[in-house]
Amino acid sequence: METQSLWEHTLTFFPQFLATLKEHASADATVAVIGASDGKFVLPLATAGYRVIAIERDPFALHGGEVKLPGDTNAHAIGLIDRLKLEGLYDRVQVVEEDFLQAESPQAHCDAVWTSCSWHYSANHHRPLADFVARMQSLVRVGGLFGAEFMMPVEQRHSHIEHYTSPEKLGHHFATDWNVLLTLQSNEFTERPHVGQLQDHTHRMGLLLAARTAK
Give the model confidence (pLDDT) of 25-43 as tens digits. Answer: 999 999 999 999 989 999 9
What pLDDT shows up at residue 188?
Answer: 87
The span from the CA of 105 to the CA of 188, in Å, is 35
Residue 4 lies in a domain: no
The span from the CA of 139 to the CA of 5, in Å, is 26
Q: In CATH, what number is assigned to the domain containing residue 72?
A: 3.40.50.150
Please determine, for residue 5, whether its predicted confidence score (pLDDT) is greater than 80. Answer: no
Residue 177 lies in a domain: yes
Tell me the whole-structure pTM to 2 decimals: 0.89
- State the sign of the Cα–Cα–Cα–Cα dihedral 39, 204, 161, 193: negative
- Mean pLDDT over the full length of the chain: 88
Q: How many structural domains is the chain composed of? A: 1
Span 51-91, pLDDT tens digits: 999 999 999 899 988 877 666 677 788 899 999 999 999 99
Residue 3 lies in a domain: no
Residue 104 lies in a domain: yes
Residue 5 lies in a domain: no
Residue 2 lies in a domain: no
Question: Under a CB-based contact definition with an 8 Å cutoff, are residues 139 and 107 in contact?
Answer: yes
CB neighbours of residue 61 within 10 Å: 22
Q: In the chain, what is the straight-line distance between the N-terminal and C-terminal CA atoms, in Å?
A: 35
- Expressed as residue numbers, the domain containing 107 is 14-212
Residue 140 lies in a domain: yes
- Counting Cα atoms < 13 Å in the Cβ hemisphere of 57 gives 10
Residue 132 lies in a domain: yes
